[in-house]
């Protein structure tokens, strides 16, 4: 069996991956809250931004964490098409969950459906990302830990969406995003504990790209997208602020001579 190291750079990759998960969750929850305060095309656009933010945050979290993943006795490469597919799956499935909440008539049912869908999206993204691993040997999984990681993902997603539906203050969104970031990270490392690798040393070249060739630049790009979008959302006025500024201007107009 190959020795697995989940933090070859020490605490840097787990800490950075947690930050990325929190930023994605905060942005996604804030966009969902904004979406629920609007209608029509504006609601759809906010929900699309929420889905892309949560999907991107989860994906970036996973692969930043994977930058610190090493196996003794073999190099690691990543299958590029499968890695990109895992990103698309994350966005699409999380999107389906977010839209279920954004457009659901029955709040309880839409929350259950949205949480289940989003959680399964997080889990499928994780295991698709793991399927993209290329190394000298065979990768195995502990089914109990895999099942536990899926349960954590579903519970985390449901809790986060519940928070988006029931909270409005910025502080509450911040707390919920820290919780969701922690849950996504714990789902990831639970999934990683399920992994075992039987190394078969070989001198043959591995197919795929190294983390520094492909994963690192993509993670940096997506991380930049998250931070820039967060700044834009933070600076754009909410529906409540727009209504407040409009009502604040009306009395002034009436009292003017």
pLDDT at 229: 82
pLDDT at 25: 87
- Specify which residues 5 forms β-bridges with: 70
pLDDT tens digits for 23-41? 888 888 888 888 888 888 9
Averaged pLDDT of the chain: 82
DSSP 10: T
- Residue 252's pLDDT band (cuts 50, 70, 90): very low
φ/ψ of residue 66, rounded to 5? -70, -20
For residue 91, is pLDDT > 80?
yes
For residue 105, is pLDDT > 50?
yes
DSSP 93: H
User: The pTM is what?
Assistant: 0.80
Q: For a pLDDT cut of 90, what percent of the chain falls above it?
A: 8
Mean pLDDT of 143-159: 91
Calculate the alpha carbon distances from 22 to 19, 173, 243 in Å: 5, 11, 29
pLDDT at 240: 61
For residue 234, is pLDDT > 80?
no
Mean pLDDT of 157-179: 80
pLDDT at 104: 82
- Determine the Cα–Cα distance for residues 2 and 149; give it in Å rounded to an integer: 22
* Structure-derived torsion over alpha carbons of residues 165, 125, 89, 30, reported in degrees to the nearest 10: 30
- Pick the more confident residue, 5 or 80: 80
- Specify which residues 139 forms β-bridges with: 197
Q: For a pLDDT cut of 70, what percent of the chain falls above it?
A: 88
- Pick the more confident residue, 176 or 256: 176
Mean pLDDT of 223-251: 70
Poorest-confidence range of 86-100, 126-140, 147-161, 209-223?
A: 209-223
């Amino acid at each position: 069996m190959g020795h697995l190291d989940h933090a070859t750079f020490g605490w840097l990759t787990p800490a950075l991956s947690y930050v990325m998960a929190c930023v994605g969750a905060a942005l996604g929850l804030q966009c969902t809250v904004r979406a629920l305060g609007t209608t029509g095309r504006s609601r759809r656009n906010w929900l699309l931004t929420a889905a892309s933010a949560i999907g991107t945050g989860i994906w970036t979290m996973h692969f930043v964490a994977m930058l610190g993943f090493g196996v003794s006795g073999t190099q690691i490469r990543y299958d590029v098409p499968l890695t990109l597919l895992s990103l698309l799956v994350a966005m699409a499935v999380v999107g389906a969950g977010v839209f279920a909440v954004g457009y659901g008539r029955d709040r309880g049912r839409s929350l259950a459906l949205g949480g289940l869908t989003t959680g399964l999206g997080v889990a499928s993204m994780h295991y698709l990302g793991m399927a993209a691993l290329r190394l000298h040997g065979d990768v195995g999984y502990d089914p109990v830990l895999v099942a536990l990681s899926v349960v954590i993902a579903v519970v985390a997603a449901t809790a986060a969406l519940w928070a988006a539906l029931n909270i409005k203050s910025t502080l509450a969104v911040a707390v919920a995003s820290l919780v969701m970031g922690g849950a996504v990270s714990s789902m990831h490392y639970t999934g990683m504990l399920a992994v075992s690798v039987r190394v078969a040393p070989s001198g043959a070249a591995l197919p795929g790209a190294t983390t520094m060739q492909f994963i690192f630049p993509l993670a940096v790009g997506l991380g930049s997208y998250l931070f820039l979008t967060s700044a834009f959302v933070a600076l754009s006025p909410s529906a409540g602020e727009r209504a407040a500024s409009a009502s604040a201007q009306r009395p002034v107009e009436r009292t003017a001579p």
